[in-house]
């Protein structure tokens, strides 16, 4: 049986803003029914990529297909089959949750006879039934973020774009949204999620693409990225700056993969270090180790 066509296909996509290259020759294929994470620091090109997928920004070069539609020419048809959860809260603060969902049900052409059911379903998905008739300005930040998600799901989209879905939220609300995103994936919805929260990408994504400088520099499952770029174990050495500097010099001389991490020096692939390795604390490698090994940057 032939493989299903990608839900999203970008080939050689570049986006320039004057002399600034925000996205640089990007190739990306997202298969249907997965959660695909774009991981990278601010300025990596994630949000620009998201805006091109909704034709809010037009590619300078390259081709984009979303759900089989060519962009930007067929962007209106593509938007009718996708849901978008923006990074910025753009809810009308004078409307209630129910009113906002009703408006978007009409915009997305949900049949009149099905609109009430669609609104009720969206309220349930976002756990907002008890706040259905509350105006937006009276909602907490977490409730507003859940309403943004519900708004993007009102028409049962085949594809959902999530641009930094939990930015600025406290850990408890973030966990609630993670559960919501996970349930969508279990229903077979394709999700493309941009994030700079490493734990979010590791927890939710079937596949992660690491972006830096407008390019994808590595791609795979979280476990594959960790194994390839950080190994199984990390050895963390703590101490005063002069000791860390000495250990770093030793690591460079011995060819040990390493990174500075706040008050510690981390030696990657510690399971392969010889008996001359310094004393430290061993722990399992994680996606943050792989990310820093790939980009040389800590995510803030």
Report if residue 294 sits inside a domain.
no
Residue 4 has pLDDT above 80, yes or no: no
SS3 253: helix
Q: At 102, phi and psi to the nearest 5?
A: -65, -40
Q: What is the mean pLDDT of residues 257-277?
A: 86
* Confidence bin at 224 (pLDDT 50/70/90): very high
Whether 130 and 254 map to the same domain: the answer is no
End of a domain among 162, 189, 219? 219
Residue with tokens 């909704």: 54
Write out pLDDT tens, residues 142-189.
899 889 999 999 999 999 999 988 887 788 878 888 888 888 888 889
End of a domain among 219, 253, 271? 219
Whether 280 and 160 map to the same domain: the answer is no
Q: What is the pTM of this model?
A: 0.89
The confidence score (pLDDT) of residue 9 equals 97
Long-range contacts of 215-221 (CB under 8 A, 24+ apart): 215/24, 215/25, 215/26, 215/45, 216/26, 216/27, 216/28, 217/294, 217/295, 218/290, 218/294
Per cent of the chain over pLDDT 70 is 97
Whether 160 and 239 map to the same domain: the answer is no
- CATH number assigned to the domain comprising residue 172: 3.40.50.300
Q: Is the peptide bond before 290 cis (omega within 30 degrees of 0)?
A: no
Burial of residue 127 (CB within 10 Å: 0-12, 13-18, 19+) is middle
Whether 121 and 241 map to the same domain: the answer is no
Residue 96 has pLDDT above 70, yes or no: yes
The region of weakest confidence among 103-107, 261-265, 277-281, 286-290 is 261-265
* Confidence bin at 1 (pLDDT 50/70/90): very low
Give the DSSP H/E element, type plus range, for residue 23: strand 20-30
Task: Look over the chain and give the mean of its residue pLDDT values, rounded to a whole number.
Answer: 92
Q: What is the mean pLDDT of residues 185-197?
A: 91
Distances (CA, A) of 6 to 2, 66, 192, 219: 12, 8, 12, 16
Q: What is the mean pLDDT of residues 67-84?
A: 95
Write out pLDDT tens, residues 109-145.
999 999 999 999 999 988 899 999 999 999 998 899 8
Report the number of distinct structural domains present in the chain: 2
Half-sphere exposure of 154 (CA within 13 A, CB side): 28
Pairing mode, strands 190-195 and 35-39: parallel
Whether 53 and 196 map to the same domain: the answer is yes
The confidence score (pLDDT) of residue 297 equals 63
Whether 183 and 100 map to the same domain: the answer is yes
Domain that holds residue 276: 231-284
Report if residue 1 sits inside a domain.
no
Q: What is the mean pLDDT of residues 58-87?
A: 95
């Amino acid at each position: 049986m032939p493989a299903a066509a990608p839900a999203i296909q970008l080939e050689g996509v570049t986006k320039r803003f004057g002399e600034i290259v925000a996205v640089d020759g990007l190739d990306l294929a997202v298969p249907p029914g997965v959660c695909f994470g774009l991981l990278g620091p601010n300025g990596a090109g994630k949000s620009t990529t998201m805006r091109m997928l909704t034709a809010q920004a037009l590619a300078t070069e390259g081709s984009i297909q979303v759900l089989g539609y060519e962009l930007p020419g067929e962007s209106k048809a593509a938007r009718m089959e996708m849901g978008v959860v923006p990074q910025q809260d753009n809810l009308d603060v004078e409307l209630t949750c129910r009113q906002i969902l009703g408006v978007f049900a009409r915009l997305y052409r949900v049949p009149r006879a099905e609109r009430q059911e669609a609104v009720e379903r969206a309220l349930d998905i976002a756990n907002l039934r008890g706040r259905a008739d509350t105006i937006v300005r009276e909602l907490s930040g977490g409730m507003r973020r859940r309403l943004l998600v519900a708004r993007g799901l009102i028409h049962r989209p085949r594809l959902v774009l999530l641009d930094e879905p939990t930015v600025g939220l406290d850990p408890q609300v973030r966990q609630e949204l993670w559960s919501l995103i996970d349930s969508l994936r279990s229903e077979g919805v394709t999700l493309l999620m941009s994030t700079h929260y490493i734990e979010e990408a590791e927890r939710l994504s079937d596949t992660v693409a690491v972006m830096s400088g407008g390019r994808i520099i590595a791609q795979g499952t979280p476990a594959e990225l960790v194994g390839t770029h950080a190994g199984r174990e990390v050895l963390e050495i703590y101490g005063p700056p002069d000791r860390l500097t000495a250990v770093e010099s030793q690591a460079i001389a011995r060819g040990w993969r390493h990174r500075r991490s706040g008050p510690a020096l981390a030696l990657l692939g510690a399971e392969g270090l010889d008996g001359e390795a310094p004393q430290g604390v061993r722990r399992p490698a994680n996606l943050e180790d792989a990310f820093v090994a790939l980009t040389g940057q800590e995510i803030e």
